[in-house]
Amino acid sequence: MILIGLLLVLGLSGLALAAFMNNDGLYTAPAGTVELFGYSVEATVGQVFLTGAVAGALVLIGLFIMFGGACRRARRRMAARRELAEQRAEMRDLQRKHDSMESELAANRARETGAADAQAVMDAKAAAKAREAEKARADADAEVAAR
């Protein structure tokens, strides 16, 4: 949409500039001949005015299309960032719950099997958990970058 709007604005601006440069007496004579791209038309001042008004309206439509597309894309990006932040917050909460449950479980195991075995199990799980969290964060960042 942005590209279409930009092309419309540039095309109409070029068209208006070409018409202005090719017709010196258009604004001083009550009626004249408008020549553009090899075509000539006998036009009155009213027709010229209406043609300019239509061209101006089309320029405005092109600008609205262009800025509308840019705003829509910005809203999508902001929504994706917000969703990612919510997912990360939820993941942190779940991770805290998981950690507390895991420490309770390790404490129970420590009572049953001995403290040394429980500490080794907790260290191994913590390392695996850190690797998984880093991988999940990298995947989420790659997904946001793809949007």
Instruction: Report pLDDT digits (tens) over 53-77.
Output: 788 889 889 888 888 888 888 899 9
Give domain limits for the chain: 2-146
Q: In the predicted model, is pLDDT for residue 143 greater than 80?
A: no
Q: In the predicted model, is pLDDT for residue 82 greater than 80?
A: yes
Instruction: Report pLDDT digits (tens) over 100-134.
Output: 888 888 777 777 776 566 667 777 788 888 888 88
Instruction: Report pLDDT digits (tens) over 9-66.
Output: 888 888 777 776 676 655 545 556 777 788 887 777 667 767 887 888 898 898 888 8
Q: What is the pLDDT of residue 73?
A: 87
**Inter-residue contact 59 to 9 (CB < 8 Å):** yes
Contacts of 1 (CB under 8 A, 6+ apart): 65, 66, 68, 69, 72
**pTM (2 decimals)?**
0.39
Q: What is the DSSP string of 26-56?
A: TTTSSEEEEEETTEEEEEEHHHHHHHHHHHH
